[in-house]
A and B are shown apart, each in its own frame.
Chain A
């Protein structure tokens, strides 16, 4: 009799105990099983912000206004005003890839802030080409992309809230911000969780 009663209890306990931990497994990057943490920017936040910026920029039609399409884009400064250390490429690279895939814009890797090329070897080859063939200097970028990431936080009791604002500006050769976009992502909770 005791065995009959004990066995289901042991089975249920074992099931509960094994359910407490999670074995390592693959998930879709940015998918709904991703870990959501209030105090930091997660992968899905960067994907969302980049998705929003790229869609908005493509829909605006600004990139179609250049004389010789596709538009040439140079990356300017994206200021990180959050309390975290962020690799800005997590945001900008996604936007660059999306714009490149759209066929509406390409990004220069030989023209950067303070004369610093993203790809120094490519810049060397470009300069060599210009010298050897007595060519005019390379085409200047049609637009530059700059921006800022801002974090604002609030707390009520055990509940924390963080809003991350991804602000971007596209500036033309005349120094006019011809497109501006902002995506705000707000997260609230007392601890990190798995899933949306």
Chain B
């Protein structure tokens, strides 16, 4: 009797988890564009978030108007869908944070096994450095 109940509970749990299956993807193997990958410095306080929203790499570029553009590749190392939010901060050549009226905390989501990019453009040409903050969604 207990075994039957356990099997039923397991089946329901599996079905519920299956609501968001991990994803498959395909892309061109011979890349035309070359990403300017940069060395990054990380602070990981939330190990769970680091598994589901893992920073796979960071690349930067400049826009035609001379603004720093940052692109961060995130990878979900789990099989389950995950909600998170992120926020970019910008710093000038003296390391002073640049106050930005439209610096949004952006809610986002990532499928199990998915690799996705989040990007941002610096608010002024004076921005030299950046910091991306990743947070678990409530």
Contact = CB atoms under 8 A, between A and B. Distances in A.
Q: Is A bound to B?
A: yes
Interface of A: 28, 30-32, 44, 47-48, 50-52, 54-56, 58-61, 63-64, 94-95, 97-98, 101-104, 193-196
Interface string B90-122: 000000000011111111000000000000110
Contacts of B123: 54-55, 58, 98, 101-102
Contacts of A195: 137-138
Interface of B is mostly: loop
Contacts of A196: 83, 85, 105, 107, 137-138
Given A101-B101, A101-B124, 12 more contacts: A31-B105, A32-B105, A44-B104, A50-B104, A55-B102, A55-B121, A59-B63, A60-B64, A94-B101, A98-B123, A101-B100, A101-B123
Interface of A is mostly: helix
Contacts of A58: 63, 65, 67, 121, 123
Interface string B64-78: 110101000000000
B137 A98 contact: no
B135 interface: yes
Which of A32, A50, A54 is most buried by chain B, counting CB atoms within 10 A of its CB?
A32
A94 B124 contact: no
Contacts of B85: 32, 196
A97 B101 contact: yes
B36 to A, nearest CB: 16
Contact count band on B? 20 to 34
B48 interface: no
Contact of B102 (A50, A63, A64): A50
A30 B105 CA distance: 7
A103 B102 contact: no
B18 interface: no
A30 B104 contact: yes
B125 A48 contact: no
A98 B135 CA distance: 25
A51 B101 CA distance: 8
A55 B138 contact: no
A182 to B, nearest CB: 16
A52 B137 CA distance: 20
Contacts of A63: 65
Given A48-B104, A196-B107, A64 B64 contact: yes
A8 B67 CA distance: 59
A59 B69 contact: yes
Contact of B67 (A28, A59, A95): A59
B67 A54 contact: no
A92 to B, nearest CB: 12
A59 B102 contact: no
Contacts of A48: 104, 106
A54 B102 contact: yes
